[in-house]
Amino acid sequence: MARVKLEGVRKIYTEGAQQVAVDRVDLDVKDGEFVVLVGPSGCGKSTTLRMIAGLESISAGTVKIGDRVVNDVPPKARDIAMVFQNYALYPHMTVRENLGFALKLKNMPSAEIDQRVKAAAATLGLDEYLERKPRNLSGGQRQRVALGRAIVRQPQAFLFDEPLSNLDAQMRVSMRREIARLHQELKVTMIYVTHDQVEAMTLGDRIVVMSKGHVMQIDTPINLYEKPKNRFVAGFIGNPAMNFVNGTVEGGGPSRFVAEGGDWEINLPSRFAAPLTAARGKAVTLGIRPEDVSVVAGPRVAPATATARLDLVESLGNE
């Protein structure tokens, strides 16, 4: 296990027009922590992971794994294991051979290879599939083999690059549980990249939200949801997404939010009085989580009411 630390890491592509893919990322992943990088396509999350792995060069800054700066260390010498979106299994090899192949390349004794392969297979429920080839496995079983190839190496850190993207919805839920269980059992450092906020919120001890190469916020799942630092994080985390309403802050005593057009207003809690003093009379944006909105049949005494038209109801059981 190892701490992974990024300090001022940048990635700049210079072919053609200069493009900054990752800009001054600072990240400190504690020993044994599960950290998830999440954001929309093109935000720089996979590029950041690939720089940690050594698959992308670093334009500026430093990457440390344990106590060692690894900027110029080749991937095979970084003592990390990476699980990709595609399973990267050898089709002509059995599951047993796939699991032990990296260890065989290291000239590890056959007895130790066999011991590690059996242990990984038992952990992942692959015992009965050891003599099968990848073409005879389901997508979920192939992904477990890919996880097993990483586990047998006993690395300092695991890196996951959208490993569940090729699976159907039901299998993704099952594999999320599998990965969470593995982290609890192995207690090893894990860094996981996904565009799926559900994966991020259910797996991560902490989450790094990225946009356009920048880190927007690093925090626990609950803090990201309840205390987003900016509009991007507020709008990205949460499903359905947060509602945004433009308006102004008014009032000489208690502050009130008045929506554009004056259709409705909200008396703001006193705990917001101090930070809102400077915003009075200025344009602001109010964010409202969907679960904080109730539909009523007519006029009702409440902190805020507004007349609106209901366009769509999505029936999702207890959600």
Residues 272 and 198 in one domain: no
pLDDT for position 179: 92
Instruction: Read off the CATH number of the domain in which 79 is found.
Output: 3.40.50.300
Q: Taking the complete model, does pTM exceed 0.85, yes or no?
A: yes
Residues in the chain predicted with pLDDT less than 70, given as ranges, are 252-254, 299-304, 319
Residues 11 and 113 in one domain: yes
Residues 212 and 276 in one domain: no
Query: For the segment 276-294, what is each residue's pLDDT rounded down to a tens digit?
Result: 777 888 888 989 898 888 8
| Domain final position from 208, 236, 264 | 236
How many angstroms from the chain centroid is the CA of residue 304? 35
| Domain final position from 182, 207, 236 | 236
Q: In a 3-state reduction of DSSP, which class is residue 92? A: coil
DSSP 223: H
Residues 227 and 250 in one domain: no
**Axis-axis angle for helices 95-105, 139-151 (nearest 10):** 20
Domain that holds residue 292: 241-319
| Domain final position from 185, 202, 236 | 236
Read off φ and ψ for residue 114, nearest 5 degrees.
-60, -40
Counted domains in the chain? 2
